[in-house]
Structure 1
Amino acid sequence: MQPLVSVCMPAYNAGQFIAEAIRSVINQTYKNWELIIVNDGSTDETVSIIKTFPDERIKIFHQENKGQCAAANKAFKMSNGALIKFFDADDILSPSMLASQVARLNYTPLNVASAQWGRFYDNDLNTFKLSPESVWRDMPSTEWLVESWKNAQPMMQCALWLIPREIIVKAGLWDERLSLINDFDFFTRVLVNSQTVLFTPDACLYYRSGIKGSLSDTKTRKAFESAYLSIEQATQTLLNVRDDQNARLSCANIWQNFIYEAYPLYSDLVQKAESYKLHLPAPTLPYPSGGITKLMTLFFNWKTLKLIKNKLQR
C-alpha cells in the first residue's frame, strides 16, 4: 500500500487561481491522495469553482473567515493521510511532486522532504524561472535552518514540504495569531522536530508572484506585528536546540532583515528587535539594495535611505 497523502489547502477568495491549483493535484502521477479544502469565508466564486471538480478525493469544508492559519489547522484536523502537504490555493505543483517526495521519504517518520522551486509572474508560466539555493541538498534539519537563514531570505513556503503526520503532531499546528510569514514559525517547529531534510530534485513548486494585494506585500501594523512574533518564536525555537555561533549569527541576520523592513514605519518594533540583537553576534547582512539605491549607499547610511524612500512612497 502506498501511503495516503493529504493535501491541505486553505482558500479565501481564490477564485482567480484555485482551478489551476486543484488541477495540479489531480494531475499528480501519484494517485493515493486526498485534497482537503477549507473555504475560509470566501465571498467570490471560490466554492462554485471547487464544485466543478467531481473527484471524490476532493473534500471541502467551510468556516467563517478566520485566516489562513485557522483554515490550515482545520484542513489538517479533517485529513486522514500519513503524509501531509500544505498547499496555497494560488500555486502549482509539478506532476511528479507527490510521487517523488513519497519515494524520498520511503516510509520513514523521522524526516521531511523538500523540493526545488521558482517564481512565475502575471499568471504566465512562460515566465517561470528556478531559484536555486544552497540548501538544495540533503541536510540535517537544524543545519538546513542555519544555512537557509544565513542571508535572511529563507524560502519556507508550505507546498515545498511533505511531512509525516507524526512530526506535525509533535511540532504543533499553525499559530492562529500569525498572518505575515506564518510559515517561518510553523516550519521551524516542524524541522527541529525532524532529523533530516531530504531534497527531492524531481519535485518542483511553481510559486505565483506579483499578485496585487497579496499578504506578502502587506505593510500594515498588524502584518509587522505578526512578522515580529513569528521571528521571535522561530529564532527561539532554533536556539533552544542549537545555540552555537553559526545558529546565533543566522538569527541575528533574520532580525537585521526585519529591522531593515520595519524602519521607520514601526519604530517600537525596531527597538524591540534591536534589543534581541544585543544578545547575538553582530549581523553580517548588508542593506538590500540595487540600481539607484545601491549607488546612493555610497553617500547615505541605510536609515537615511529608508527615510527618503518612505517619503517618496507617500
Structure 2
Amino acid sequence: MAYFSVIISLYNKETHIKSTIESVLAQTFQDFEIIVVNDGSTDGSEAVVNSISDHRIKYFKQDNKGASAARNAAISKASGQYLALLDADDLWQESYLETISQLIKSHPDHQVFAAAVNIETSNGVIRSVYSIKDIRDKDIYIVDYFESSYINTVLTSSSTVVHQSVFDKIGTYDTSLKSGQDTDLWIRIGLHYKVVFINDVLATYRYEKKSLSNRTKRADKPKFDNYIKFESGNPGLKKFIDLNRFSMAVLSKLENDQDSFRRFEKEIDYNNLNKKQQFLLKQPTSVIRCFHFFKKRMQHLGIHLSAFK
C-alpha cells in the first residue's frame, strides 16, 4: 500500500500529461502510486501515458462521463492513506510530496493539507494570494477554509492532499453539478475540517484557454443553493459564497444575462463586499464590459488587476 495515491482525471491532455506525470515521478518522496483515469479522451493521451514505464502508474479508462466522475473513479481505486489531487495539465515542484508528508507528521490531528500555487497565465506567471492575516513566505498556518479563501482558494485540484477518511465523511465529487464541482467539494471540506496550509509555492496551475475554468457558459453557472441553510450560522461561509456570487453576478452582466444577475445579486449581503465590488455590481453592462476590456489590456502589460484586493 502506497503512502500517497495521486489522483489524475485525464481528458484530451496529450500535450501536457507527460510533463505532469514526470513531475510526480521526480518527487523526492517516492512512496506513491499514480491513479490515472482516462475519461474518454479522443486525442493521443492514452498513448502518452502508456509510453511512460513505471509500475506505480495505474491506468484506467472509461467512456466520457466528466471530470468529477473520473476523479471519483480514481478515488475508488486508490489504496493510499492520503490522496493527492492533481489535474492532468498541472505541475508539482519536486519537494511537494515530501513537504506534505512533513506537514502530516507535524500535525497528526489534521486530515487536510495544502500548499500555495503559481498561476501560469497567457501573459506570465503570477503567485496566488490568500486572505490569511500577516501571511509570510514558507510559514505554516492552520486555517478556516472560508476565511482564508476570500481572495483565492487555499484548496485547489492540484495542491490539496486529504486523508482517505475525508471522502468517507463528506462524500466525493458531486457528478450532478454542471460546474463548480471543485468549489462544492472545498465547501463541504471547509464545513468539517481545518486546513493545514504552507505558504510555499509547490504547484503550478497551467492556463489553457479552452479549459472549463475559462469558459463558463450561462447555463453552467453554479447556484450555491445547497449551502444557504449553513450560511446564517457560519459568517465565514456566508462571505465566501457571497464573493462567489459576486463573481457570477459580474459574469452574468458581461453576458447580459439579467435573470442570472438578479438571482445572484439578491442573495448577496453587500457588507461582505469591498467598495470596488459594490461599485461594480451597480454598473450597467456597458461599463462592466469596458472595465473587463481594460483589465485584459493591463494583463498583456503584466499588470494584474483584481476586485478582490
TM-score, normalising length from structure 2?
A: 0.81
* Aligned equivalents of 2:219, 2:46: Cα separation in 1: 28
For structure 1, list consecutive stretches of 5 or more residues without a partner in the other structure.
Answer: 289-293
The CA deviation at 1:308 is 6.6
Is the CA contact 2:91–2:205 (under 8 Å) kept in the aligned structure 1?
A: yes
Is the CA contact 1:7–1:33 (under 8 Å) kept in the aligned structure 2?
A: yes
Alignment match, 1:139? 142
Q: Which has the higher mean CA deviation after the structures are superposed, 87-96 or 184-193? A: 184-193
Cα distance change on mapping 1:110 and 1:131 into 2, 3 Å: closer
Per-residue CA distance 1:162-203 (angstroms, 9 max, x = gap) = 111101210110011234332111112123222x32123456
The CA deviation at 1:102 is 1.4
Per-residue CA distance 1:232-287 (angstroms, 9 max, x = gap) = 33x447537x424x54334333322221111254322222223323xx45442455
2:215 corresponds, among 218, 222, 227, to 218
Which amino acid is the alignment partner of residue 170 of structure 1?
A: K
Q: Does 1:148 align with 2:149?
A: yes
Per-residue CA distance 1:65-116 (angstroms, 9 max, x = gap) = 0110000000000111110111100000110101111110127363311101
Alignment match, 1:255? 245
Q: Does 1:243 align with 2:234?
A: yes
Q: CA RMSD in A?
A: 3.0
1:305 corresponds, among 287, 294, 309, to 287
* Aligned equivalents of 1:306, 1:138: Cα separation in 2: 36
Which amino acid is the alignment partner of residue 284 of structure 1?
A: L
Alignment match, 1:110? 110
Q: Secondary structure at the match of 2:12?
A: coil
Write out aligned runs for 1:29-40 (5 A): 29-40=28-39
Cα distance change on mapping 1:304 and 1:132 into 2, 3 Å: closer
Cα distance change on mapping 1:91 and 1:307 into 2, 3 Å: closer
* Aligned equivalents of 2:185, 2:145: Cα separation in 1: 15
Per-residue CA distance 1:16-48 (angstroms, 9 max, x = gap) = 100010000100111110100000000100000
* Aligned equivalents of 1:159, 1:185: Cα separation in 2: 16
Is the CA contact 2:20–2:89 (under 8 Å) kept in the aligned structure 1?
A: yes
Alignment match, 1:191? 190
Alignment match, 1:291? none
Alignment match, 1:284? 273
Alignment match, 2:65? 66
Which amino acid is the alignment partner of residue 274 of structure 1?
A: E
TM-score, normalising length from structure 1?
A: 0.80
Cα distance change on mapping 1:174 and 1:247 into 2, 3 Å: closer
Moved segments of 4+, more than 6 Å: 307-311
Is the CA contact 1:110–1:167 (under 8 Å) kept in the aligned structure 2?
A: no
Alignment match, 1:22? 21
Alignment match, 1:232? 225
**Count of matched residue pairs:** 284
Cα distance change on mapping 1:132 and 1:274 into 2, 3 Å: closer
The CA deviation at 1:307 is 6.3
Q: Does 1:269 align with 2:272?
A: no
* Aligned equivalents of 2:176, 2:256: Cα separation in 1: 21
Is the CA contact 2:84–2:162 (under 8 Å) kept in the aligned structure 1?
A: yes
